[in-house]
Amino acid sequence: MPPLLAAENLTFRYPGAERDVLRGVDLSVGPGASLGLVGESGAGKSTILSLLLGLQRPTGGRILVDGAPLDLSRPASRLAYRRTVQTVFQDPYSSLDPRMRVGRSIAEPLRSLGIEPDARAREARVAELLADVGLPADAATRYPNAFSGGQRQRIAIARALAAEPRVLLADEPVSALDTSVRLQIIELLQRLARERSLSLLLVSHDLTIVAALCERMSVIESGRIVESGQTTDILTAPSDPYTQRLIAAVPRLPSA
């Protein structure tokens, strides 16, 4: 079976820039599998996500979905892809519209992607999603400012799951949160990914998060993947000097 989502030999240069910020990046995540993409600030992680989301076009290489090249040229294929791949962003303060009630935010993908035209059915679906992420049903009628950072990230996760995607791209999903709630959100993502056989591509500069959530990981340094493999293998015996330095910088790793 081909990987659900793959990047093959991806190269990217920002318009007008002098250098490529991605150089021959290969990545893949299988159905129901989890991949952590780790690297320091500026390594190219967000750029990879924006290419995977189709927000920018690669300068070279390609993106494959179920083994076929990603084609976003037609509205129908763009819509299908948005159903397949959803995202949770780093900052739940800016990712939720402050003027929109939480229920409407969560229901938005159901409406805009044409998944559920019936408003009543959307409301019922929102109630299920809120329960799934551990929030009370009356959260739907409130505005984001009534919630803490951790609760807002639960709302963002519910919204990402509304379209029943097959892949969740999570961009530093806990790094903007208080340390005390990070673990709760990680456990939530873990449970939801397992229950829904969701593929997870997690971008993080934090090896502890990747160690907790991802069975495989890739390490990116200056736009190049320097090491890929089973997370436990890499954490116990990193072969690349850059990975060794990243690991040495973490005081205590759960599985190392």
Cα separation, 73 vs 75, whole angstroms: 7
CB of 214 to ligand ATP, least distance (A): 16
Cα separation, 187 vs 203, whole angstroms: 16
- 106 forms part of the interface with ligand ATP (CB under 6 A): no
Q: Pick from 39, 58, 103, 150 the residue near ligand ATP by CB under 6 A.
A: 39
Cα separation, 52 vs 65, whole angstroms: 10
Q: Pick from 44, 92, 144, 238 the residue near ligand ATP by CB under 6 A.
A: 44
Q: How far is CA 75 from CA 5, 80, 209, 248, in A?
A: 20, 9, 36, 47
**Count of residues of this chain found to bind ligand ATP when the rule CB under 6 A is applied:** 12
- 43 forms part of the interface with ligand ATP (CB under 6 A): yes
Q: Are 198 and 192 in contact (CB under 8 A)?
A: yes
Which distant-in-sequence residues (6+ apart) come within 8 Å of 185 by Cβ? 150, 153, 154, 157, 173, 174, 177
CB of 28 to ligand ATP, least distance (A): 19
- Convert residues 173-212 into a mask of x (bound to ligand ATP by CB under 6 A) and - (unbound): --------------------------------x-------
- 224 forms part of the interface with ligand ATP (CB under 6 A): no
